[in-house]
Structure 1
Amino acid sequence: MAADSTAEFSVQQLLDTGTVAIRDIACRGECRHKSAEECPNSTHLVFPYRGVYVRHQGQDDAVAEANQVLFFNQGEAYRVSHPVEGGDASLDLVIGETFLQELAPKVQLREGGVLAFRRQRLRVDARTQALVALLRHSLVRGAAETLEAETLALTLVRRAMGERTSHAAGASQGRQKLVDRAKLVLSSDLARRWTLAEIAAEVGVSPVYLTQVFQQVEAMPLYRYQLRLRLARALDLLGEYGDLTALGLDLGFSSHSHFSSAFRQAYGRTPAEFQRSVHLR
């Protein structure tokens, strides 16, 4: 059950078995400065699907948005801030340690006795985003039985860390921070048709330098990254819109055909087909 609407957090337990626990966590995001320190008592895989926040771990910051999976290691303290208005929401998974050891590639884990991930985050591919939405919508609407939900969750974790389906940003700390500032600009208004010059001005560099650095760090062009954020928001909103043309236009697409084509290219089915597959309509 969700918490009081006046609370900063709303938490809905969607599944809890011996294999996996899944929660839907929403935050109002009203706290702009760094939060008080928190320390998880188990290892979490967190898939943001709406909005954006920043997780601070020592000197390392990670922008959490719908193109990422974040790893919260057991016993490692962190803080959170919300530089962009609008709040955020994430699907939170806790997998039994034995199963997680089997699922996680060795290269993603630290050496030693305690299971811990090397990085704060990985970028996930479009099909992983679709799995997040499929799992969440199915559980919220009671359309998935326990066995199916557990299987989907393990598939999601495997894909989120797969060699061909994930990407670890690689760059100096300065370049990573520059790219993260650009991500916050994009996330501040997903529907806006930003120009390269506008984004570059917001982060304080030339358009040419921004495109070069973004491509180097994320291994994808800035415009495609923005497209993926818009499409992930569409996955989130499909249960709330009967008029898919309106949804596409609200997210900045020029037409229904533009929206439907981009969605199908990313996720392998049209928005209407995805709605039907999880009984949203």
Structure 2
Amino acid sequence: MTVGLRQTVLLDDGAVTLSDVRCHAASRRVTGVEATRDLELVLPRAGSFARHTRSADILADPTRVLIFRPGERYRISHPVERSDRSVVIGLGPELAAELGADRAAGDLPSSTRLDLTARRVVDGLARGTLDPLELGGDVLALAAIILAPARADAATRPVAVRPGHRRLALRARIVLLERLGERLTLPELARAVGTSPFHLARVFRSITGESIHEHRVGLRVRAALERIAAGEDDLTRLALDLGFGDHAHLTNTIRRELGRPPSALRVAPTLLEIRSLRTILQA
């Protein structure tokens, strides 16, 4: 299968790298075997893809951070859309070990504010309003924030997860991506994945750590961020496309999730903004 991959390296200070990666696949089928050289933290910002390894199949969407380990062999497929865009943070072996990346699972949760911070760093570097020489420490701090749950989990006993539960949550996440703009009810979603509403709601939270509603709101907010960054200025149309009730519903949701209105996201990122976002994440 032909895959078009465009990687723009925006920061490389010898310790950490930051790249904007865009991928377009000719079909949704699984690719050939690939492997990475360094440890990479992949934060999808648009679209989605699935990573297949011997141990697990993981769906990458903007609510998760994927961890690609050096030398780990994997395949990629696109079960929903054939294109995706991600922020990729690369870490050398010593730094990865220091941050506890070796103890992390294959994917970790990404909050809307973490997602916003990564987006604003990339957009600021791409637009030239941020200086790469000043941002190495901030990107490193962002990596530490991403991996914090892994360091916390290392001190607790792992909880066994049923493979069937993981597959059910995966199917539900795919349906939510496919039908993001629809006002899908819990019974409708449960029917789509072949289970009861109660069982789906319970399993989904146990696997993802959030409710189905919270997950869908997170997807919709991130989709809105991507379109606003691309120049979308008709917020009423944007709201209706993504399943919000109206312009006010979209604006209020973004303000609640991110602490700022959509209009603030059109302003060029500054170092002061990045440091402020980092402080909030570290609190």
Match of 2:102 among 109, 128, 135: 109
Match of 1:98 among 69, 94, 102: 94
1:49 and 2:42 correspond? no
Which aligned pairs between 1:19-168 and structure 2 lie closer than 5 A? 19-102=15-98, 104-105=99-100, 108-110=101-103, 118-163=104-149
More helix by share: 2
Equivalent residues of 2:87, 2:119 under 8 A apart: no
TM-superposition CA deviations, 1:6-49 (whole Å, max 9, x none): 96222222222212222211122333222100011111111111
Match of 2:9 among 2, 13, 19: 13
Mapped partners of 1:122, 1:95: distance in 2: 16
Equivalent residues of 1:49, 1:65 under 8 A apart: yes
Equivalent residues of 2:38, 2:92 under 8 A apart: no
1:195 and 2:195 correspond? no
AA matched with 1:250 = D
Please give the secondary structure, in 2, of the residue aligned with 1:177.
helix
Q: CA deviation at 1:226?
A: 0.5
AA matched with 1:213 = V
Please give the secondary structure, in 2, of the residue aligned with 1:41.
coil
AA matched with 1:56 = H
Equivalent residues of 2:204, 2:211 under 8 A apart: yes
- What percentage of aligned pairs have identical amino acids? 31
Q: Cα–Cα, structure 1 residues 206 and 29, in superposed 2: closer, same or farther, change >3 Å?
A: farther
Mapped partners of 2:150, 2:51: distance in 1: 25
Please give the secondary structure, in 1, of the residue aligned with 2:52.
strand
1:249 aligns to what?
240
- TM-score (structure 1 length as normaliser): 0.86
1:274 and 2:252 correspond? no
Number of matched residues? 264
AA matched with 1:33 = R
For the aligned residues, what is the CA RMSD? Answer: 2.4
2:275 aligns to what?
none
Match of 1:260 among 233, 251, 266: 251
Match of 1:234 among 224, 228, 251: 224
Mapped partners of 1:258, 1:134: distance in 2: 23
Task: Tell me: higher relative CO, structure 1 or 2? Use CA pairs within 8 A at least 6 residues apart.
Answer: 2
- TM-score (structure 2 length as normaliser): 0.85
Please give the secondary structure, in 1, of the residue aligned with 2:6.
strand
1:182 aligns to what?
172
Give 5+ residue unaligned stretches, structure 1: 1-5, 111-117
Equivalent residues of 1:49, 1:66 under 8 A apart: yes
Equivalent residues of 2:38, 2:93 under 8 A apart: no
Equivalent residues of 2:129, 2:268 under 8 A apart: no
Match of 2:163 among 153, 167, 173: 173
Mapped partners of 2:20, 2:210: distance in 1: 29
Mapped partners of 1:181, 1:223: distance in 2: 16
TM-superposition CA deviations, 1:227-246 (whole Å, max 9, x none): 00111112222222123333
Give 5+ residue unaligned stretches, structure 2: 271-283
